[in-house]
Homo-oligomer: A and B are copies of this chain.
């Protein structure tokens, strides 16, 4: 190792906690020690590893900037051997940079400042950071190594200009905090391939892992050789220390893994499943909760949410509450118990009729009140929300909500009712994907976690007699196609209709989406799994009279 032009590299893909500078340093110290023990010459940590990503407005606090500097100095002193490259917030005369510290001989030898600052989607980096403009190429064991941070890698033309006057390099490293969404891995592969072509070098891509509010970082750090081949990857959705030897031989840079390859996700459903599990576990634990509770209706959304919670936290940390009314069928009541039994969590029954009756009676103080309309349906949902929040306040368990992306889009939910809770596990999962996920989880478990009845019964909110989702909403296949086009792809009504979707349904669904922004604004965060989730990804005014119409204005 380290002989001639061979360098052993270690990618420390770890789960940083935003703001926990001492905790993050401890983790890095441990990984550094393991890496050095394994003979590594160069140890990488992700983008903003010191403070976690994204720190958001913490960057506006001067003490936070000072603390970042102290923390990276503490890390440097604790890593007296070899080369370490780790992300932190650097402050120069009060200006903040998204930076990488190059630590050699126990001190900060050099820093690189990220040049390309994403300011779209969930990213607000121009709010906090100034862009750097100086390339940094370091030398380790005779190899020249160029440093980049996340977005820097995504624009090859720009990268070519940055390194135009720099020394040629054998390895391009990229410290990343790249959040997961469906299809993201392919994108990463493509941009890494482009960089390799442009610079004729190998690439070491070190990604963050873990859940942070709505984001899940999936890890899957990458080592690719100078032919463009992805030679090895770190674990998906878990911490890992990926070690390999990098060698310059002639005009090629080869990579030889020093650890066995990590198992990779089996496909998109497995990725979504693991993202939801990790996102739920991290939101819960990083916010100091051990237990969760949720309403179990006998429907598929609460069953899938419960299954994710059990996988994330263990059945012993999940408490189900079923809250039947006279509108619930005997079948759904029985299925609630079956879901709990199959998944192994405790289920408490609190019927709502003894509360609903006097509540309704009190509301008759307003002469316009009636027990036949939407207000009465919402009342039932709010009584349930209040039961869950009361038990949460009493027991210290976090309430998980169970709404999917389809109903979140069209506002088919009761604010402060079924939307009441701390974390919305499947809020970015369209209903059609909820069904596929249920089938996948059953297949994965090799048994019926989600009862077959729950999957096949037509969905209903059961807030009035014989209610079915299909009475209020289009068929979910159609609904999800409209949502994908309108929400995720920003298509207009006209474009959707021209792509073959029925005009009346398009107009109706878009109107519902536009009019229910206020509900989403007050909803809890949840795991982002699509390229555009509700939350920081999609920022629309509540007060908004813009109407996309099918006919030209």
Contacts and interface: CB of A to CB of B under 8 A. Distances in A.
A348 B363 CA distance: 11
B544 A525 contact: no
A521 B524 CA distance: 8
Contact of A355 (B355, B525, B539): B355
A198 to B, nearest CB: 25
A43 B375 CA distance: 49
A386 interface: yes
A366 B321 CA distance: 10
- Size category, A interface: 35 or more
Interface in A87-141: 119-120, 124, 126-127
Contacts of A368: 394-395
Contacts of A525: 521, 542
A236 B541 CA distance: 24
Contacts of A382: 385-386, 389-390, 416
B544 A494 contact: no
A354 interface: yes
Interface stretch (A57-65, A259-267, A443-451): A57-65
Interface string A57-79: 11011111001001000000000
B358 A355 contact: yes
Interface in A382-406: 382-383, 385-387, 389-391, 393-395
Contacts of A120: 127
Interface in A361-393: 361-363, 365-366, 368-370, 373-375, 378-379, 382-383, 385-387, 389-391, 393
A386 B366 contact: no
A185 interface: no
B354 A366 contact: no
A349 interface: yes
Nearest to A61: B490
A508 interface: no
A369 B354 contact: no
A57 B126 contact: no
Of A351, A415, A420, A541, chain B has the most CB atoms within 10 Å of the CB of: A541
Contacts of A286: 543, 545
Given A286-B543, A378-B389, A525-B521, A57 B119 contact: no
A426 to B, nearest CB: 18
A258 interface: no
A545 B20 contact: yes
Nearest to A364: B350
Interface string A512-543: 00000010011111000000000000111111
A518 B422 contact: yes
Contact of A543 (B17, B415, B548): B17
Which of A18, A20, A416, A521 counts the most B-chain CB atoms under 10 A from its CB?
A: A416
A19 interface: yes
A363 B390 CA distance: 8
Nearest to A549: B63
A390 B416 contact: no
Contacts of A189: none
Given A119-B127, A389-B382, A539-B56, A355 B348 contact: no
A127 B125 CA distance: 10
B359 A355 contact: yes
B56 A540 contact: yes
Nearest to A415: B389
A384 B350 CA distance: 21
A293 to B, nearest CB: 10
A257 interface: no
Contact of A391 (B51, B363, B415): B363
A238 to B, nearest CB: 18
Contacts of A348: 365-366
Nearest to A64: B546
A492 interface: yes
B387 A386 contact: no
A378 B363 CA distance: 20
B539 A124 contact: yes
A54 B366 CA distance: 39
B375 A394 contact: yes
Contacts of A361: 354
A292 to B, nearest CB: 14
Nearest to A378: B393
Nearest to A544: B19
Contacts of A126: 119, 126
A168 interface: no
Contacts of A459: none
Given A19-B546, A124-B539, 16 more contacts: A18-B543, A58-B544, A213-B541, A286-B545, A287-B542, A355-B362, A363-B394, A366-B391, A369-B394, A370-B394, A375-B390, A379-B386, A382-B389, A389-B416, A415-B420, A522-B524
**8 closest residue pairs by CB, A with B:** A19-B546, A375-B393, A63-B492, A20-B545, A375-B394, A416-B416, A382-B386, A19-B545
11 contacts: A21-B553, A22-B553, A58-B541, A61-B548, A62-B492, A63-B495, A124-B539, A213-B543, A354-B362, A363-B391, A374-B393
